[in-house]
Each structure stands twice: as C-alpha cells, then as structure tokens.
Structure 1
Amino acid sequence: MTIKERLIKELEEIPDTIAEEMLNFCLFLKHKNQTQTKEQEKSDLLNFLHDVEIISQEIPAEEWEKLPVDLSKNLDYYLYGTQKNYRSTCLRSPF
C-alpha cells in the first residue's frame, strides 16, 4: 500500500473536523513547497547570471567590438545564413 493510499484510508476514518485540519495542513505544505521551489529557481538564475558576468569580464574589449551590433536581432543570419532582418525595431506611431 502506497503512502497516498494509506493517507486516503486514514482520512476516510477520521471525523470531519480533523479532516478539515488535515486539508488546511496539506494546503500549507503545498504552498510552502511551491514557495521554496520558486526561491530555488530565482537563486539558480541569479547564480547563472553572476557566472555569465564573470565570464564576460574575462573577454577583452577588442573581442566585444568584433560582434555585429545587430547580433541579437539577426542571430539566425549569423549562425545559419538565413535572410537578414533589416526592419527597424522602432515602433511607428499610428498618428
């Protein structure tokens, strides 16, 4: 018998007042776990960005200057030779 099956069996045998407390406790644990997961993801992202910053500081300025100014907009062009995007990224006013 799995833990969930044992828990369900116990819940079927307890009074409703205790079942309500169990439900509140389960919801609390679920929320606590979700919060910890989000905090861990945020921590992982910050660690990754810190590592990127350290690595980028090791690259000489001359190398950064060799990168095309439109690299992010035309990454597929530079990697795979697809058609280059010449459109402006500025939005035009409809007025």
Structure 2
Amino acid sequence: MTSAREQLIQELNRTPDFVVQEVLDFLLFIKTRLKQRTEEKQVDSSDQSPGLPPFLQFVEEISAQVPREEWEKLPKDLSKNVDHYLYGSPKEEE
C-alpha cells in the first residue's frame, strides 16, 4: 500500500507543469493558512488568564503597571462618587 505522499509524487510525475504549478500554489496557500491559525491560537491561549474575559485581562494588565502607592492615593469612595471627582457633582453620603 502506498502512502498519500508517494501517490501524490507519482501523480505529479504524470501531470503537466501548469497543473503542478497550480497544485504547488494551493499547497503553499493551505500551509500559510494553517500556520496563521496555529499562531492565532497560541496568541489567544497565552494572552488570557484562565477564566478571565479579554477585557478583564486587559484591565488586570494595566492595573499591574500602576505602583501600589498610586492606588493608595485614590479616594476610598471613588467608585461611589466618581461624578463628584470628575464633574464636581455633590458627593453622595454614606
């Protein structure tokens, strides 16, 4: 029994050059697509922490770049009174 590779080589030997060129172009195209898909999967799997959606992963990466001392300078009620700190709206009391 001959392998697919051997059979392909036998067929290529009996095929006109213009058809061989088309087959070669197609093979190179398929190999390029396969390589791109493999690279995309590797990037996707290495970029994300397990269980985190891409946006939260992005937030985590950005927040890791800010030193702890800077986080401590933020007001403790920032999330509750963000409009006050951004636009000067009255503060919500606790």
TM-score normalised by L of structure 1 = 0.50
Matches within 5 A, 1:60-71: none
- 1:27 & 1:33 partners in 2: Cα distance? 10
Q: How many residues align?
A: 54
Q: 1:43: Cα distance to partner? A: 1.0
Are residues 1:2 and 2:15 paired? no
Match in the other structure for 1:12: 13
Matches within 5 A, 1:24-35: 24-35=25-36
Runs of 4+ aligned residues of structure 1 deviating over 4 Å after TM superposition are none
For residues 28-64 of structure 1, the C-alpha deviation after alignment (integer angstroms, 9 at most, x for no partner) is: 01101100110010011023xx23979xx9xxxxxxx
TM-score normalised by L of structure 2 = 0.50
Match in the other structure for 1:93: none
Q: 1:8: Cα distance to partner? A: 0.6
- 2:21 & 2:50 partners in 1: Cα distance? 47
Match in the other structure for 1:51: 50
Q: 1:7: Cα distance to partner? A: 0.7
For the aligned residues, what is the CA RMSD? 2.4
Please, which runs of 5 or more residues in structure 1 have no aligned partner? 58-95
- 2:43 & 2:8 partners in 1: Cα distance? 33
Percent identity, please: 28
Which secondary structure does the structure 2 equivalent of 1:14 belong to? coil
Please, which runs of 5 or more residues in structure 2 have no aligned partner? 61-94
Larger radius of gyration: 2
Amino acid paired to 1:10: E
